[in-house]
Amino acid sequence: MLLMASSGFGIVQMAEANPGSFWETIRPQFEHKAWQGCSLWDLIQPSFMFMVGIAVPLSCAKRREAGQGFLGMTWHAFTRAVLLILLAVVLSTRAADKQTTWIFTNVLAQIGLGYVFLFLIARMGWEYMTAGIIAILAGYTAFFAMHPLPTPEQFASIQGIKVPPEGILTGWFGHWSIHFNAAAHFDRWFLNLLPQAQPFAYQAGGYQTLNFIPALATMLGGALTGDFLMRSPLEAKSKATRLFIAGVLLIFLGTVLDLVALPSVKRIWTPTWAIQSGGWVLIMLTGFYSLVEIAGWRRLVFPLVVVGMNSITIYVLHSLCAGWIKDHLHKHLPATAFPAGWEPVIDRCGVLLVLWLICWWLYKQKAFLRL
């Protein structure tokens, strides 16, 4: 959430203004890959969705202790899912002129679409979660593989949208090309069943509604991890070791698949991406778990805790208010606060600081937005 709210710390803009500099060297890690591949920026969403999964077994255990039954928990999961989807639609509509924009690629909508399934599968135990992950990834691979390969004429027919050359894959990998894959075909049918300002044809970035299906495998991986951390009798160091080994193996498997079998594409959440990003998230989780639970350095991660306790709040505030905050910082601070050449960094770090301070104030008031 801190990375997201930073808007990349202005690093991309600094790289554009200073070609050949250090900024240009680190730039690829602070923007999404055009199609195939993985960057730090691409890992924000899978990290968030993985954490949603981790929280489910912990939340279910707490609700059981409070005496809540299956029907009560199911209703809670359903209402949470609906609220997340509706909130995502509202955020996606903020730039629209006259009517609702029905699109479901926002991360909140993606979580909402899969949340009830996550709850139902996670409560059945690790065997069902494991089987669910395998079935989802295998089935989604088959879904794409059975869709006809795109033709050059189809890409040439696109009007008004720049098609990145990286998005046009060849051979077997062509089934996962931008705009003419199975999920894109589904969206051209499904989204046009809903009221739209104009008929839906393509989403410029190539993101699709059905991404929530393989992303459900990511959330189930988180639930499997949360169940392991909660129930395993192993010591913390042993748990961390197993998580680290699992992460390395998943990264290795995802890298091999990306080279020879199935491309790793975050924008359509290919099964390879779910595997590869899951490995990286496990590595990061191991680092934080070791830092907090083993080394006991809890104060060091306090800034993350403040945001984590109000993650939806900072997400919504950033979506709605980032530009307004930046404009008012320029209005109320002296010009010397924005030295020439550093404005992109200062602007985005200033917005991040304001958002963090809001979350910190809410944290001190014990006010937390939960759905």
Q: Each residue of 262-321: pLDDT tens digit?
A: 999 999 999 999 999 999 999 999 999 999 999 999 889 999 999 999 999 999 999 999
Query: What pLDDT shows up at residue 243?
Result: 96
Residue with the two structure tokens 């530009």:
323
Examine the pLDDT at 52 and tell me if it is beyond 90: yes
Examine the pLDDT at 96 and tell me if it is beyond 80: no
* Weakest-pLDDT range from 65-69, 128-132, 183-187: 65-69
Query: What pLDDT shows up at residue 36?
Result: 95
The mean per-residue pLDDT over the stretch 207-229 comes to: 96
Examine the pLDDT at 204 and tell me if it is beyond 90: no
Examine the pLDDT at 112 and tell me if it is beyond 90: yes
Cα separation of 91 and 109, whole Å?
Answer: 10
Query: What pLDDT shows up at residue 198?
Result: 85
Query: What pLDDT shows up at residue 94?
Result: 81
* Confidence band, pLDDT 50/70/90 cuts, at residue 140: very high
Query: What pLDDT shows up at residue 175?
Result: 96
Query: What pLDDT shows up at residue 126?
Result: 93
Phi, psi for residue 156 in degrees, rounded to 5: -70, -20
Query: What pLDDT shows up at residue 155?
Result: 85
The set of residues, in sequence order, having a beta carbon less than 8 Å from that of 203 and lying 6+ positions away, is 103, 105, 184, 187
**Other Cβ atoms within 10 Å of 239 Cβ, number:** 20
Examine the pLDDT at 153 and tell me if it is beyond 90: no
Q: What pTM value is reported for the model?
A: 0.92
Examine the pLDDT at 159 and tell me if it is beyond 80: no
| Higher per-residue confidence, 157 vs 258 | 258
CB–CB of 144/183 below 8 Å? yes
CB–CB of 355/5 below 8 Å? yes
The mean per-residue pLDDT over the stretch 98-115 comes to: 92
Query: What pLDDT shows up at residue 186?
Result: 97
Q: What is the DSSP annotation of 264-312?
A: -BGGGT-HHHHHHHHHHHHHHHHHHHIIIIIS--TGGGHHHHHHHTTHH
- 36 beta partners: 265
Query: What pLDDT shows up at residue 172?
Result: 95
Examine the pLDDT at 356 and tell me if it is beyond 90: yes
* Weakest-pLDDT range from 69-83, 87-101, 271-285: 87-101
Q: What is the DSSP annotation of 87-148?
A: HHHHHHTTT-SSS------SHHHHHHHHHHHHHHHHTT-HHHHHHHHHHHHHHHHHHHHTSP
Query: What pLDDT shows up at residue 142?
Result: 97
Examine the pLDDT at 156 and tell me if it is beyond 80: yes
| Higher per-residue confidence, 282 vs 93 | 282
The mean per-residue pLDDT over the stretch 326-353 comes to: 92
| Percent of the residues in the chain that have a pLDDT greater than 90, as a whole number | 81
Examine the pLDDT at 227 and tell me if it is beyond 90: yes
pLDDT digits (tens, 9 = 90+) for 334-344: 988 999 889 99
Query: What pLDDT shows up at residue 371?
Result: 78
pLDDT averaged over every residue in the chain: 93
